[in-house]
Structure 1
Amino acid sequence: MPEKALKRQTFACTLDPARAAALHAALARDGQPPADGEALPPFWHQIYFWDAQPPTALGGDGHPRTGTGLIPDMGLPRRMWAGGRLAFHAPLLCGRPAQKLSTLETATRKQGRSGPLAFVTLRHEIRQAGVLCITEWQDLVYREAADPSAPPPRARPAATDEESATRRGFDTTLLFRYSALTFNGHRIHYDETYARRVEGYGGLVVHGPLLAHLLMEKAEAELGPLAAFRFRATAPVMHSEKADLCRKGHSLWVRGEDGRLCMEAEATPA
């Protein structure tokens, strides 16, 4: 049965313009980065509110061990960011103090066709000067340790009827920088030997949140300011391949080089 949402954690952070400038450079964005007092683009709060833990509190994958914070230990070590939902209520201003309240909404263990699975949903509420700016629901999946010799699961084919598509490449420098800026220690993003031999991937894995971030940027550029956004990861993207960021109406998706669906999303304009 799902656990009651009793566990909460609070974080306080000043949204440093220097960190925003670093993300602006890492993503190769045009123009100038957000200056002090200007609104941050969607999803840029991911580079703030670090939960920095000492090495003794980390698991073998580089993430904080379950059972040490909000997320209970359900006996499944392999973590995946499955998707999320965001509601944008008010601008989040660069250079100003902000607070994040994180709540464990659900933690459920089930038996799937591929083995036991644990589903975790966290809710994050981000405020500035007492005003709720962003509500985010983060969906995580935990699985058994991978069998590197097992064939990868078959992915669904992605649609090809998009109104617009942007081809995007990913290299090790971008993955390293995004990991550093989000303080994400998951080794699948920077340790290729670990990613291949332990977790069974075909290379370094592009961060799911990075793909969602790029889809949000595309949605905002083509549809205008966002009121809400939701996304779901369906297959990993490797650092050695290019992917198409696609949009048709309010629907967006990431298509891998072989035509597989890697992420699907829906944008709600303001």
Structure 2
Amino acid sequence: MQDEAPSPVRQSDIMDPARAAAFLATLGRTGTLAAGDPLPPFFHQLYFWQARPPGDLGRDGHPRPGIGAIPDTGLPRRMWAGGRLEFHAPLIAGTPAEKTTTLHEITRKDGRSGPLAFVTLRHEITQIGQARVTEWQDLVYRNDPAPDAPAPAPPTAPRDEDICEEAEFNSTMLFRYSALTFNGHRIHYDLDYARDVEGYAGLVTHGPLLAQLLMLLAERELGNLRAFSFRATAPLMHFETAQLCWKTGGTLWVRGPDGRLCMSASAH
């Protein structure tokens, strides 16, 4: 299939502080956010919703590929594989902002499970005429798993961290995060779909939610972040407790309860 570069997608949002405050509550964090306050890093995920009518959605609840900035790769299964961000200045709650999304790159490979399509989107967010955030979002598309296919062995997480904090998840938290980010991906709230169609053991904890928790940990240790990158390496189920790990120098990772590496990251 020929991959054609779609036109850039431009959106605007008022950056409602109530939505950011609701996210803090969802995370169990104290504090308030009001108009004029700087938003924590990565909170722009709460904004710039892409609200599409039901006819524009695919079977997984996402807008169908070919609508917006993502071309149709012909592969049905989507995952957020990772990304990298540059923080030029904090976004301000209650102040209109603009986001421009373009297709940065698309590559195709043959993996152990079959064909793969890697799609990278570039997001530029400006506010009051100033560049605030540049983000590269890496997505991977693949076929459904064969019913008898063994799950790939995940990498093992390091155990030499300087800080280790537990994070628990459940279906309510995943639903609230999906609602706040207007993420319709059914693997996060539809257990039958996640298990029977995409082959997961449970609901999948959002990759960007794990990245968000690592970013907040990094910000606590480093102060204002200039850059952050992350890569998802294994899914974490909603019933599993994760360990958020920090190593002095800006290396972070998420360790699953069996010691597997679910996400690696770096911050500075």
TM-score range, shorter chain: over 0.9
Match of 1:239 in 2: 238
Aligned to 2:31: 31
Q: Is the 8 A contact 2:6 2:71 kept in 1?
A: no
Aligned to 1:172: 171
**Range moving further from structure 2, 62-71 or 82-91:** 62-71
Q: Whole-Å Cα distance in 2 between the matches of residues 75 and 6 of structure 1? A: 16
* Residues 21-57 of structure 1: per-residue CA shift (max 9 Å, x gap): 111110111222x210010000000000001111101
SS of the aligned residue for 1:40 comes to: coil
Alignment of 1:1-270 (within 5 A): 7-32=7-32, 34-249=33-248, 250-268=250-268
On the 8 A contact 2:3/2:72 being kept in 1, the answer is no
Structure 2: distance between partners of 1:94 and 1:55: 30
Q: Distance in 2 between matches of 1:112 and 1:151?
A: 14
Structure 1 residue 108 displacement after superposition = 2.0
* CA shift digits 1:158-196 (9 cap, x unpaired): 000100010010011110000000000000000111111
- In 1, distance between residues paired with 2:108 and 2:189? 29
* CA apart distance, 1:3: 5.9
Matched-pair contact (CA < 8 Å) for 1:127–1:134: yes
Kept after mapping to 2: 8 A contact 1:165/1:245 = yes
Is contact 1:88–1:133 with CA below 8 Å preserved after alignment? yes
Pick which of 67-76 and 161-170 moved more: 67-76
> Aligned partners of 2:137 and 2:179: how far apart in 1?
20
- Partner secondary structure for residue 102 of structure 1: strand
Whole-angstrom distance in 1 between the partners of 2:146 and 2:182: 27
Indicate how the Cα distance of structure 1 residues 81 and 18 shifts in structure 2: closer, same or farther if over 3 A, else same: same
Contact kept, 8 Å, 1:39 with 1:93, in 2: the verdict is yes
Q: Secondary structure at the match of 1:218?
A: helix
CA shift, 1:212, in A, is: 0.2
Any unmatched runs of 5+ in structure 2? none
Deviation of 1:153 (Å): 1.1
Shift in alpha-carbon separation, 1:95–1:148, aligned structure 2, 3 A: farther
1:4 to partner: Cα distance: 7.6
- After superposition, the C-alpha distances for 1:235-259 in whole angstroms (9 at most, x for unaligned) are 0000011000001121000000000
Aligned equivalents of 2:148 and 2:241: distance in 1?
25
* Contact preservation (8 Å) 2:6, 2:68: no
- Sequence identity (%): 64
Any idea what SS the aligned residue of 1:159 has? coil
What do residues 97-116 of structure 1 show as CA deviations (whole Å, max 9, x unaligned)? 00000010112222222210
Q: 1:148 to 1:182 in 2, by over 3 A?
A: farther
Amino acid at match of 2:209: L
Q: In 2, distance between residues paired with 1:30 and 1:63?
A: 32
Deviation at 1:123, TM superposition (A): 0.3
Secondary structure in 1 aligned to 2:226? Answer: strand
Aligned AA (1:167): E
Shift of 1:152: 1.7
RMSD of aligned Cα (Å): 1.4
Letter in 2 for 1:87: E
- Would the aligned equivalents of 1:147 and 1:198 in 2 still touch at CA under 8 Å? no
Structure 2 letter corresponding to 1:13 = D
Cα contact 1:148–1:197 (8 A) shared by 2 = no
State the Cα distance separating 1:147 from its structure 2 match: 2.8
